[in-house]
Amino acid sequence: MDIFEKFYRFDKADEVRAAGVYPYFHALESKQDTEVIMEGKRRIMLGSNNYLGLTTHPEVIAAGIKAFEEYGSGCSGSRFLNGTLNLHLDLEKELAGFLRKEEVMTFSTGFQSNLGIISTVVGKNDYVIMDRENHASLYDGCKLSYGKMLRYRHNDMAGLRRCLEQVPENAGALIVTDGVFSMGGDIANLPEICALAEEFGARVMVDDAHGLGVIGEGGRGTASYFGLEDKVDIYMGTFSKSLASLGGYMASEHKVVDAVKHTCRPFIFSASMTPANAACALKALQILKAHPELPETLQERALYMRKVLKEKQIAMRSGGGEQIPIIPIYTYDMLRTLAITTELYKRGVYVNSSLPPAVGPNECLLRTSLMATHTHELIDEAVDIIADVLKEFEV
């Protein structure tokens, strides 16, 4: 049998294209901002993870240009060999200080970070325990490890306890959870997770890709939000969201990070972050440190949009975290969700559609997300359009 046969039979994308509701790969023709030019037309951007709006900040852009001029376009090697720049070391040191951890190591992408961390930390006789709604990269990290994966229902602490009870006394256990969940915008029950970890002798890893710059003291993330910075053993995060660049990181104690640096295959056998990416992330971090009011502004914008949506009686997914800038709006049926997304795009509002398997079969969503730089006027304009379209589709 031809190994390509399964691709020749793949027709789901063609069916959606034929229906005129294909929502993917729209081309940007401007900077990632609150308003963008996409395929020749102005759109209000409600689908970006650029939470602090720093991708257009002049100091971030200038830092990237300077790095290009000083270091060139790339490192042409892995961090393990010729690909370490003083920029990488400066970024790691400053981020470790910000997160109040002993050490940080950086990866070229956030996805690669989770692949590398979990596959290295979780060994053959270990267990990794996952929230069912964790990010796909966390699941792929589990697949790459030689450990046994157990799962519990989303934020179900009784389920987490049952998983921990299955772990043999002589086996290591790592509990892995998103800090802020990327689809629902809710926050992990970190106090109970950490308490259970302590009770059962497990370690805790938090994927804080959507927490850094969003919640916690000065935007330090989920552990800081709960006052549990000393209880979380590993932080993972990305530079592609609040820090306006590309890459990822692991923050932990020195001995753990040092061991991962020397044994992690996705780290050792991948080229390092480009100079511009490292410089932009470092400058964005410095701006965040200098302006702790940025996460507060972002939270205010989220509260404002939720208030306006409630006034228009638009159903949102609720799970705590009212101040989180990820605001999912229920649209239920998959084809209707795609049609609504397409109509919003035509009328100048870009949102993401959340479809199975990211959500349940009849729990499809419009995933909207805000930036600190959105104005109330832009939010009002976008919500008016969303309300009109939902009314037309009888949602």
164 backbone dihedrals φ, ψ, rounded to 5° = -65, -35
Active-site residue among 241, 245, 270, 374? 241
* 182 a catalytic residue: yes
Active site residue 318: no
> Which one from 88, 101, 210, 374 is the annotated catalytic residue?
210
Q: Which residue has the tokens 């919500």?
A: 383
Specify whether 88 is catalytic: no
Q: Outline where 166-221 has alpha helix (H).
A: 190-200
- Three-state SS for 252-310 is ECHHHHHHHHHHCHHHHCCECCCHHHHHHHHHHHHHHHHCCHHHHHHHHHHHHHHHHHH
User: Is-contact 160 128, C-beta < 8 A?
Assistant: no
Catalytic option among 108, 137, 182, 369: 182
Is residue 88 within 8 A of residue 106, CB to CB? The reply is yes
Residue 204 burial (CB count, 10 A): 24
- Write b or e for each residue in 301-332: b if 16 or more Cβ atoms lie within 10 A of its Cβ, otherwise e: bbebbbebbeeeebebbebebebbbbbbbbbe
Residue matched to tokens 């257009």:
56
Active-site positions read: 182, 210, 241
